[in-house]
Amino acid sequence: MEAQNLIDIKENDLLKIDRTLLEILLKDKTTGKNIIWATDNYVKYGELYSSDKEIKIELITGEHGGIIKPRTKKSKEEQQKRVRQKAEVFTPSWVCNLQNNLVDESWFGRKDVFNVEKEHSWETVREKIAFPTAEGKTWQDYVFSNRMEITCGEAPYITSRYDAVTGDYIEVQDRIGLLDRKLRVVAENTDSREDWLKWATVAVQSSYGFEWQGDNILIARENLLFDVTEHYEAKFHEKLETQDLVGFAKIIAWNIWQMDGLKFVVPNSCCTKEIVEEDLFENHVISKQCEGCKLGYGKNSYFKHNGIYCKIRDWKENKTLRFVDIMKEGEKND
């Protein structure tokens, strides 16, 4: 298959592998329903494609297969519309690499760990990654370390399967995403399929991202899933079994979630509520706006929204918690 054809993961192809995969990748773990479109870019296909509707399998497969595609395969008109409506701007891979390198420079205490930066490109370091064991840091610590991409779009900082601006496919050995780096470390330090799966699972569990628009959520989730499979195939020269794909998909559905990044709720879930007040003579209907929305953005409004607060999974502690509570905890530690 040509490299250009590899970047667009077809929902019809996922359906052929196992319908369960698409069911999982479309799930919103907070609401228990499917993720919503959260954009009107698809409303031309009918009412079921409007912003507040769930993305259903039958809406994106069969004759409708292919309507969801990466940004580089969207028309210029669509791209510009999304920039105007949601300030959607995608970052070239060389910039993602530069910023991810800064994260690793801080963690490792040295530069040029995974690659050497060039002008608008990079040269991959081919030697096995050495870890600062004198500081008590091991490769397992690196794989366990949590990373998150905010407003992740198609998740170019997490996985660099392709350049989000040019659409150029990037070979596994030269990828620079946060998850790519973890999976490289796993490949360099494991031999058996069982050990690779164990630590690749940890790598995925420690890679997070959130996004507003539903099509981006699905693409990001697909990118993470296929990134894992492509790293596996590069090491073992065989395809990942369907049951393992399903296992990774279940983690990814938790870790890449749909959220309003300023309110920490499911997009557009805040609302004005009608409250009935009774007195001796008649009932009065009063409209009550969301208190958090009235206050605007900032820590004073974090816990006052009446929308649905998003939940995420803490895999180390094996528990579910609200993302907004993590923000509160972070402020305490500042």
Residue extents of the structural domains in the chain: 1-258, 273-333
**What is the predicted pLDDT for the residue at 1?**
41
Lowest average pLDDT, out of 162-166, 198-202, 326-330, goes to: 326-330
Mean pLDDT of the 172-186 span: 98
Whether 256 shows a pLDDT value over 90: the answer reads yes
**What is the predicted pLDDT for the residue at 86?**
60
**What is the predicted pLDDT for the residue at 2?**
45
Mean pLDDT of the chain: 91
**What is the predicted pLDDT for the residue at 82?**
60
Whether 246 shows a pLDDT value over 50: the answer reads yes
**What is the predicted pLDDT for the residue at 81?**
66
Higher pLDDT, 104 or 133: 104
CA distance 141 to 131: 10
DSSP 297: S
Higher pLDDT, 105 or 288: 105
Mean pLDDT of the 83-107 span: 85
Range list of H helices, the chain: 3-6, 11-17, 19-25, 57-60, 76-86, 93-108, 139-144, 178-189, 193-205, 214-236, 242-255, 291-295, 323-333
Whether 333 shows a pLDDT value over 60: the answer reads no
| CA separation, residue 287 to residues 140, 221, 290 (Å) | 54, 38, 10
